[in-house]
Amino acid sequence: MLGFLGNVLTDGPLYESTFRLAAVLAFAAVGEWVAERAGTINISVEAMLLGGHFGAAIAFTASPNFVLAIAVGGMVGVSVAALQAWLSHYLTADQFGIGLTLNILLLGLAAFLQPRFDLDTRLAGVTSIPLLADIPVLGPALFGQRWPMYVIYALVPLTWWLVMRTNWGLEVRAVGEDPQAADVSGIRVNARRRQAILYAGLLSGIGGAVYLFGQVGRFESGNIGGKGIIAIAAVIFGGWTLRGAVAGCLLFGYVDALRLNLPTILGYSLNSQLLASLPFLATIVVMLLFAKHTRQPVALARPFVRGLK
């Protein structure tokens, strides 16, 4: 047992896989954190990830430019978010129903359209940061990745600054806590909520594109496979704080990396179905342990109607 634990704690490829998997979750979770701080449950984050994943693949096939393809992925994510925001705030449809519908719609649409495109994608090049990449065990995992993965290093502090240090962020947090008071103060409650969803769509779309170019290299409609739902669980695990959400992504990324690396570490094969279920089992356990012990925004998932409590 001690030997097994030692192998797990010192296995470099395990940490490299953890970062790659956690980074993809973090794009979605950071955006979802903003949306939920504004009082909206963005179940369609899965659709935003998949939309960005597919849009980036089409864009790169048409013009093999990584930056352009990632930007297109982000815009596709925004398009899905705009549909979510329009249906939930203008038509006041149920947020949960809209999210589930969009997830199913994007999955079916991607599977239907994929054979109609001769997609040609590839992985981006590896960029190692001098000196930092030479740190034992963790160095290659954090600073020896394909360059699109590093985008998350900029987006996390940028998002924290937007939400915690700007007037826009103050208004976003206000509409998530007490939308009626925010409305009396002159804040356009549903406008701020829509903007938060659009921001979540942008980050999730970029995350889907980064997943394509930073990890898998080619598009398959099943690549996302529940990552959006796990990102939502990470936000809940983190108690609706940004650092907690990132920590949740690292936890789920580590569990998913164990699924991929345990057979190699142990030296013999394990039941593939059991390994495939590990990330989702971890999600269920975390939800059971933390969902009732963290403080969510007071107005989370409550539609805003002026004058009504």
pLDDT digits (tens, 9 = 90+) for 163-201: 999 999 999 999 999 999 999 999 999 999 999 999 999
Residue 89 structure tokens? 């705030």
Query: What pLDDT, on the 0 to 100 scale, is given for residue 107?
Result: 92
Q: Are 253 and 25 in contact (CB under 8 A)?
A: yes
Query: What pLDDT, on the 0 to 100 scale, is given for residue 263?
Result: 64
How far apart, in whole angstroms, are the C-alpha atoms of residue 88 and residue 90? 6
Higher pLDDT, residue 226 or 4: 226
Which band of pLDDT confidence, cut at 50, 70 and 90, is reported for residue 309?
A: low
> Under CATH, to which class is 10-119+131-290 assigned?
mainly alpha
Q: Are 85 and 251 in contact (CB under 8 A)?
A: no
Higher pLDDT, residue 113 or 293: 113
Query: What pLDDT, on the 0 to 100 scale, is given for residue 265?
Result: 60
Which band of pLDDT confidence, cut at 50, 70 and 90, is reported for residue 301?
A: confident
| Residue 45 in this model has a pLDDT that exceeds 90 | yes
Residue 236 structure tokens? 């809940």
pLDDT digits (tens, 9 = 90+) for 231-256: 998 998 888 999 999 998 998 888 88
Query: What pLDDT, on the 0 to 100 scale, is given for residue 292?
Result: 65
Residues shown for the chain: 309
CA dist 83 → 94, 105, 148 (Å)? 13, 12, 27
The mean of the pLDDT values for the chain is: 87
Q: Greatest CA separation found in the chain?
A: 64
Query: What pLDDT, on the 0 to 100 scale, is given for residue 273?
Result: 67
Q: Are 216 and 13 in contact (CB under 8 A)?
A: no
| Residue 81 in this model has a pLDDT that exceeds 70 | yes
| Residue 282 in this model has a pLDDT that exceeds 90 | no
Query: What pLDDT, on the 0 to 100 scale, is given for residue 300?
Result: 85
Query: What pLDDT, on the 0 to 100 scale, is given for residue 222?
Result: 85
| Residue 1 in this model has a pLDDT that exceeds 70 | no
How far apart, in whole angstroms, are the C-alpha atoms of residue 51 and residue 110? 8
How far apart, in whole angstroms, are the C-alpha atoms of residue 183 and residue 43? 25
How far apart, in whole angstroms, are the C-alpha atoms of residue 103 and residue 10? 38
Angle, nearest 10°, between helix axes 189-211 and 151-165? 170
Query: What pLDDT, on the 0 to 100 scale, is given for residue 307?
Result: 58
Query: Would you list the DSSP string of 232-269?
Result: HHHHHHTTT-HHHHHHHHHHHHHHHHHHHHHHHHHTS-
User: What is the residue type of 297?
Assistant: P
Query: What pLDDT, on the 0 to 100 scale, is given for residue 225?
Result: 83
Q: 3-state class of 126 per DSSP?
A: strand
| Residue 295 in this model has a pLDDT that exceeds 80 | no
How far apart, in whole angstroms, are the C-alpha atoms of residue 306 and residue 304? 6
Please state the domain extents for the chain: 10-119+131-290
Which band of pLDDT confidence, cut at 50, 70 and 90, is reported for residue 41?
A: confident
Query: What pLDDT, on the 0 to 100 scale, is given for residue 58?
Result: 96
| Residue 90 in this model has a pLDDT that exceeds 80 | no
Query: What pLDDT, on the 0 to 100 scale, is given for residue 138?
Result: 86
Query: What pLDDT, on the 0 to 100 scale, is given for residue 189?
Result: 92
Average pLDDT over residues 77-92: 88
| Residue 154 in this model has a pLDDT that exceeds 60 | yes
